[in-house]
Structure 1
Amino acid sequence: MPQSRTPRLGAIVLLVASIVGLAIALYAYFTPLTGVNGSLGALVAILATIILAVMALILPALKGNAARNVWRVLILLALAGTFFAALLLHQWWICVAMVVGLIGLILDMALANRTARPAHS
């Protein structure tokens, strides 16, 4: 894998997790007998996963370390809030998707840190 694409792997994992969370939240919102169909909580989960997907798309485009770190903190807060909302809605698969998103965020931080350091010879 080329070194320029390596830091994007975490953002891709985060994007896929948020899209999967969006699909699950849409299913819960529109399907009868899910217990949360048509509820405000499910709608909030839908909006939160859309925001997470947009944030995941913006993450690789940020240039400065400070901007990326602030953006990562905002993503972490969005992941935690969506996870908590999914817990309250008893939508366990959205919780799983948010944990996978957290793994993607950690991967993004680890790979960006790895590629930023000069190689020791």
Structure 2
Amino acid sequence: MKGKKACESLGDREQFALVANVEKNLREVGNRARQYRILPSSDMAYCNTYSGVISPIVDASEDASDQLKPLATCRPPERPKKLRIRTKDRFKKKRIFTCSRCGGLGHNERSCKAPIAD
């Protein structure tokens, strides 16, 4: 009903222009659809493409050129340390950092420069 009321409020020229525009758009959509449909000749081209012999995949255990190399490690980006003044009553016990990646003392995983161990 909404479409009918909208058309009734338009004049004759506006209705004609609207109908002509809709018909033109429908023709364009139909032309585009016809361009992309699958033609019988494309079926033959597909069959001809894959009609040749397909070689089997070489066993992965026989191919030695596919060995993986270790990841290149670099130091991750750091955020600058925040300078702040602590109160005297707020002391922390000092502790030695232990890296969880390499097991070294004095640094943590974030600042570790050692290569990744297997």
Q: Same fold per TM (> 0.5)? A: no
Question: Does 1 or 2 have the higher relative contact order (CA < 8 Å, sep 6+)?
Answer: 1
Structure number with higher helix proportion: 1
TM-score (norm: length of structure 1): 0.24
Which entry has the higher C-alpha Rg, 1 or 2?
Answer: 2
